[in-house]
Amino acid sequence: MTEQDPIQKALEYMHYQGAKSFDDLIALIDRTGAQWANAIEGLTEKQASFRPEGEWCAKEVLAHLISANRGINQRIAEMAGAESPREAEKTRGMGEISPEYQDMGISKLGGEVRDVFSEISSLMTSLSSNDKLEQTFPHPMFGPLTLKEWFAFHRVHAMDHIQQIDQIRADPAYPAA
């Protein structure tokens, strides 16, 4: 038996979740925010700044997640003709980290992560009866996604980076608390 291509698997997941009700999607995003809180709970500054060779540290992962999610929220809001919950910092490209977050401490970054998931839920609530939700815009790896599928992408993206935090914590050189 061959394993399914992870890109295709994620795309099918986003299509499936994007077909669900906004209440279901909001519950999914709320669970994701809680999982992020658990993933970073108890991190010290030293641990959050630990960088395995060739990888991002936890603070950089968080900064990327915050920037990317706010950028996606802004694009969704623009396409739906709605107001974005918060202006997104412009970045130069995928994987770039906003200077706004680079020097923040882990406690402040954790608060920003909580805020961004709250912003996603608020945006979803404001768009629940919007007639433009079937519009698409392309993701560089997944291709065109509807606005609701982009909300599901928030979940896929977040879970990928939670796994990245778990890998950082599992590194043999990871500092003790």
Q: What pLDDT, on a 0 to 100 scale, did the predictor assign at position 95?
A: 55
Angle at which helix 106-127 crosses helix 58-80, to 10 degrees, equals 20
Q: Give pLDDT < 50 ranges for the chain.
A: 92
Sketch out the chain's domains with CATH numbers: 60-177 (1.20.120.450)
Dist CA 62 CA 40 (whole Å): 9
Residue (of 85, 144, 94, 140) closest to 115 by Cα position: 85
What proportions of the chain, in percent to the nearest 5, are helix, strand and coil? 60, 5, 35
Q: What pLDDT, on a 0 to 100 scale, did the predictor assign at position 177?
A: 79
Q: What pLDDT, on a 0 to 100 scale, did the predictor assign at position 82?
A: 86
pLDDT digits (tens, 9 = 90+) for 37-51: 999 999 999 999 999
Q: What pLDDT, on a 0 to 100 scale, did the predictor assign at position 92?
A: 47
Q: What pLDDT, on a 0 to 100 scale, did the predictor assign at position 170?
A: 95
